[in-house]
Structures are given as structure tokens and as C-alpha cells.
Structure 1
């Protein structure tokens, strides 16, 4: 874009021009702008020299717009609105004009639960936007690697793993377990003894990390013996089927797990605290209009999957 012509213009004349054309009177335009009449008369003289046109012509005791001034009055409305938006720190956000990729770090459980709902909402409200849901390194998140969150639009993770970041709750679930369909040594609800005797497939676990279900059992003196550790919930049925193993699983994944075959769902002993999945984001994105809108989309996706149960 060649801005050399614009650079030579006195853009301070735009506001006086709009007032003069609207009021069709130097006196009324000056009063509207809070300026003295001589100052506005000087602006009108500059405008007449620039356009080589009177702009305002006296007819009897009043002024009328010249044909050029009529054309300018229509252009001015759009020009001043556009300039106002440039300097407005609250630029209107239109989702339909979004053409970018939104990235979330999430487990395969969260992706399977709300990924489709988020994508559907984006398709209807921001058809040019894309969604990327990627896996994350939980150890890095717990070590406070805020740079990981800063580089994406958010992290979908239950409470208890991260702190110091703004968040909004998205959906809740509860913990259950799956065992092999041919494991007849346990009933529909595990006992404390069952938990200790079974060999467990656990997710996202190391010396410092374990699931909320494990922590809850441990607080009641029940220890879990892990034989396999995986960073995926969707592979649990394959590792439990036709074995003496068991796995903690979110209740929303139970139908998918049972449909995979050769496993059945059982209740855990005692009462478990609910699992609350939240969207966490870097503070620098809090006031970004696009991110504010996207957070609302994620929350709405959580509401939709909750209502569908």
C-alpha cells in the first residue's frame, strides 16, 4: 500500500469536515466541537483549498452542500468509523472472520469427550477456524513450565495438577474401574481387598504423580499395585481384557471401553471425589477477545456433553 499520499494529508481536518457537512453551519459545527468560530473557519478554508470546492454554498440565509460535499459526507461516515476502530482498544470481534488454529493440550480422554463438540461449535460459528488437540507432558506441566501453556490456547486438565493459572471448569465426571469380562473373582463393586489383589494398569503416573482415584484410595490406606503405566486412557481396554488386571477409568469412557469388548465396568469402594476437568490458560491471553470467545466455546462444549448424558 502506497501511503505517500496519506502522509501529506492533514488528517486533523476529518473531524471538522464531518461536523461542517453535518451541521451545514460554521457556527453550529464550532459549538458542537467546542471550538471557536475563527478556528473552524480556518479549517473550512483549508478544506476548500484541498478539494478546490466550496463544500458549503450560501443559498439565502442558509448553506447547502455542493455535489462533492454530498459524496464526501457518505464516505466520511465509514472513514471515521474505521479510524475509530483502529484506535479502539476493544476492537469488535467477529468469529465468522476468524481464520486461525486454536490449540489445546489435552489427554485422549478429554479429547474424546469434548473434542467433537468443540469442533462442531467452531464449524457453526467460525467456519474458517481449525482445532488442534495435542498430548502433553504432565511432568513438565507440574514443574511449572508455563512456557508450554503460553505457546497454546489452553490446557484441559483436572484440578490438582496445576496451579497459579487462570481457569474455568468445563465438565465433571467420576472414577470407575474396568476388569476383564471373564474375571469372576470380583463383583460389580470392588472391595478394599479386591483393589490390593488386582494388578493395575494406571495412566500418567510416576513417583510424584498419580490419578485422583489412586490418591483417594491411598488416603484410606488402600495401595494400588501398578504393573503397566501408559499415557493414554483409550488403550486401557486392550490391556485389561483377558487378564487379571484392572484400570481406573472415567465413567464417560465406560461405554466406549465396553464396546471395545471383553471388559466390564465395576464401581470403586467407598465414595470418590468427582473429577473436574478445567481449561487452564496463560494469563497473557485473559483479555484477548479471540481467546475470551474461544474459552466460551470450550465451556459450551462441556455443557453440551454434560446435558447429553
Structure 2
């Protein structure tokens, strides 16, 4: 089970290890959106995404529980890097199962952090089954990308910071938009804000064609994505939400929003021009929804990651 107590415990583990990323704003973005826009820049977190939070908390909890032969994780790249760095800092081996079509920079960075990378075909192979088999064969502890209490709690520390930083800016009521794949970040933030800033409502944001969370919320039951590839928003493409994350998304979040790839690219360019930060497509969908979907009152968009290939960044900037 995931609770505010676990998120607070995660915050203690992360203290001195994770960055307290800034909450940014720009009058130019406010003008586009027609309301106050704040951006939680998790692209400036270690390894370029929020995933270091969950990776560090989960690996730390496993190390505290007893001796480890190593850890294994499966990821399109951001969770991979978060777990790889956490394992390296704890002095234990890491094996990372990554889709062969993941951005080259994410694969290269994961290897550079000392992890062994095992690739698979996203459309034809089951990453969960592959990860479970390797874990059993090598005696490795599995660190799931989102459906794990310690991972959700680690991501939830982002919500604790949002509550504190928004209050410092005089904001106690806001819509909080979060890029959503499996739901670890979204559900963790929702749980944290329920306890620390109940005037804020979290909404998942997904790319067009991979909106299983929004569809699941509307249907009242967990639905799957029909496709497992084919989006530039690779960081938030998952088959289905998790057993732990789905009830939190269902019960704590407002309706999901969906944006197009073009809108994500436009948001990347605007983040670069107005905030001077680099976002990847999946990490920009919440900002895209904040800018290009109507709404009233303050909005806080989580910029969840910035691990983008140069070619994709150039595509965004050339528009």
C-alpha cells in the first residue's frame, strides 16, 4: 500500500541525494494560456527526469532490507537511468531491460551509468516476462517502473515540493497537470497533494492514441492501449496502468487530458524559448495541455523529463 507516510519516508531517504527542482513561470506562457502557469522542472532532476526519485527510494529500501546481488528494471529510458544511477551510488550491479527503439541517448546514458542493457522488441516481446525471467535467473531484485509502493512514494515527493513551492508563491488552489504513462508519478503526486494541498486537483495528461488512463477513467474500469509503440512520447507509453496506480488515479484524480504530438513539440519549443529548459516529448505533454487547453485559475504543469535526442529537439525548435 502507498500512503503519505511512505512518501514522507521517501523524502527523508532522498534528502541530500535528489534535487529540489524549481517551480518556474513566465509571463509569456501566462499570456498564451490566459492564466497563471507554473512549471515544475523535473527535467533538471538527476538523470534528467523525476525517475531518480523513485529509483533511489526503491533501491535504498531494498539495500536496507538486506544484502543484494543487484537490481533489474525495465524502462524506455528514464526509469532505466534513475535505477542505474541509484544502483551505482549504492555500489550494486544493475541490469536494465530497454526497448530497442528507445532514444539512443537514453540507451547510451544508461550504459554510461554502469548498467548492463538488455534490449527487446516493444511490439513483439513482453518486457514484464523478460524482466521476471532475468531476475529469477540472476537473483536480482526487480524495481518496477511504476507499480511498486516504494517507487510511487519516491515520485510522490515531487508533490510535497509542489505544495511547498506553490504556497511560497501564494497559490493554494490550482489544477496540477502530470504526464502519465503507468501512473506512478501522477498517483504519487495526487496522494501527496491530497494530504498537503487539498485545494489542488491532479489531472493525468497523455498523448493522442495512448490515452488508456483517460479512457479508463471515463469507463470506470482499467483499459489497455491497443498499440505499444508509434509515438514520439516514448517516455509515457505503457500497455496499461498498474494494480497499485489505477485505484489512486481513479479515486484521487480529475479527468485525464489528451494532447497531440504537434502540441507536445510546440510546448518543447516554448519551454526552450521562455523557460530555458529542455524537454522531451513525453515530458512536455502536461505543459502542452496547460497552454493549449482552456481552463480557469492557476495551473501547475510537471515537466517530467528532458532526455531528448538532438534530432527531436531540432524538430521541435524548427516547428
Report the TM range for the smaller structure's normalisation: under 0.3
Compute the TM-score of the two structures, normalised by the length of structure 2: 0.22
Larger radius of gyration between Structure 1 and Structure 2: 1
What TM-score comes out, normalization by structure 1 length?
0.23
Greater per-residue strand proportion: 1
Q: Compare the two structures and name the one with the higher helix fraction.
A: 2
